[in-house]
Structure 1
Amino acid sequence: MTLIPITPKEARARLDAGQACLIDIRGADEFARGHVAGARLLPADMITAEALPGDGRSLIFTCRTGMRTAANAARLAALAPGAMVLEGGLDGWRKAGLPVVENRAAPLEIMRQVQIAAGLLILAGVILGFLVAPGWFALAGFVGAGLTFAGLTGFCGMARLLALMPWNKTARA
């Protein structure tokens, strides 16, 4: 089973006619920053057959670019036979000139915050290692080890820590 591709314009027509429900499978922090009006947030890791709307409308799944939906396509198609995938995701919707609900005041997505923080810590460790003392190289090594651990286990301590920061409290509310 697979998801049926649908263009943003076709999806818009179905949504406007009340024939479809758009399911955004991204995280709450990403959804808070921008989404299609009327889209329902249902993160990929929380999707079950019971969580999906059962009101007879067609289901259209989306994410930011379509890659996350494609990675989950087999599972989504098994849970919702005949479901569709929005081509290009939210980015494709934007490129088609369709409106997006945006909140620039919402914090950056947690994973982007992790990338920025990790990059800055590694850069600082390398610069300080050359300019101050070689012991600072350990900072870069520690962050690199943490990123490797996160990739292997799926647990990112830095993401958990950043999620507790005051600027991220609104995204979780």
Structure 2
Amino acid sequence: MPHTPPTTVEPAQVREFREADPQVRLIDVRTPGEFTATHIPGSYNVPLDLLREHRAELTAQHGDPVVLVCASGARAEQARALLETAGLDRISVLRGGITGWEGEGGDLDRGRGTWAMERQVRLVAGLLVLTGVVASTAYEPLKWISGFVGAGLTFAALSNTCAMSRALGLLPHNRTAATDGRALLDALTGGRDGSRTAG
């Protein structure tokens, strides 16, 4: 991998990078539940919320190239911006995330976990809109539930953030058993023995 890697890389490039440089770190920033369900072999789980929580501690003790991974690339881009602000460099984002990786024939380890966050958001948003429409037949002002959800989704698209996904990420089904945040961060910032939350 060159000294200054591109900010986004294609799945095929990631495979080439890993073959050429075994020090390349794949850091998956999805929730532990999503990571347990499916992840790229050899990747480490360092959730985006954990990075936000410990942003003041984010100093790397290595010069290894890092490729950030999420479901589609949006959360990985947020993580890249956060890490660059913290002074970490040699960071790229896997274009298309896990979806793009799988679409190009990349291997995945699968386990028992939760739905992808985007799918969870679609379910909750859809249920809220449906509830608002149905409930408004009995009490007309409840139609604004649907309007509120629509406004929230519009803002999420324009700002490339999602408050609903952050809230859903705090639910127990999106978390694994208690994990040591420092050990997870070491997968990104520390030596070569950083811990995976799944094999």
Residue 53 of structure 1, CA deviation:
5.6
Distance in 2 (CA, whole Å) between partners of 1:69 and 1:3 is 15
Structure 2 counterpart of 1:35: 39
Return closer, same or farther for 1:64/1:99 CA change in 2, 3 Å cut-off.
same
Q: Kindly name which structure, 1 or 2, has the bigger radius of gyration based on alpha carbons.
A: 1
Local SS of the residue matching 1:9: helix
Local SS of the residue matching 2:115: coil
Structure 2 counterpart of 1:12: 15
Structure 2 counterpart of 1:81: 89
Structure 1: state its 5+ residue gaps: none
Distance in 2 (CA, whole Å) between partners of 1:12 and 1:146 is 39
Residue 109 of structure 1, CA deviation:
4.0
Q: Deviations over 1:3-31 (max 9, x none)?
A: 61333233224335522111112222332
Residue 160 of structure 1, CA deviation:
5.6
Letter paired with 2:25? C
Identity, % of aligned positions: 28
Q: Deviations over 1:62-105 (max 9, x none)?
A: 222223333444443453222222232222211221101223x4
Q: In the alignment, is the contact (CA less than 8 A) between 1:21 and 1:39 conserved in 2?
A: yes
Residue 38 of structure 1, CA deviation:
1.5
2:119 is equivalent to residue 116 of structure 1: no
Distance in 2 (CA, whole Å) between partners of 1:62 and 1:160 is 19
Return closer, same or farther for 1:54/1:162 CA change in 2, 3 Å cut-off.
closer
Structure 2 counterpart of 1:61: 68
What is the CA RMSD across the aligned residues, in angstroms?
Answer: 3.7
Distance in 2 (CA, whole Å) between partners of 1:29 and 1:55 is 28
Q: In the alignment, is the contact (CA less than 8 A) between 1:25 and 1:61 conserved in 2?
A: yes
Structure 2: state its 5+ residue gaps: 157-161, 178-199
Distance in 1 (CA, whole Å) between partners of 2:171 and 2:60 is 29
| Bigger relative contact order (CA 8 A; separation at least 6) | 2
TM-score by length of 1: 0.66
Local SS of the residue matching 1:112: helix
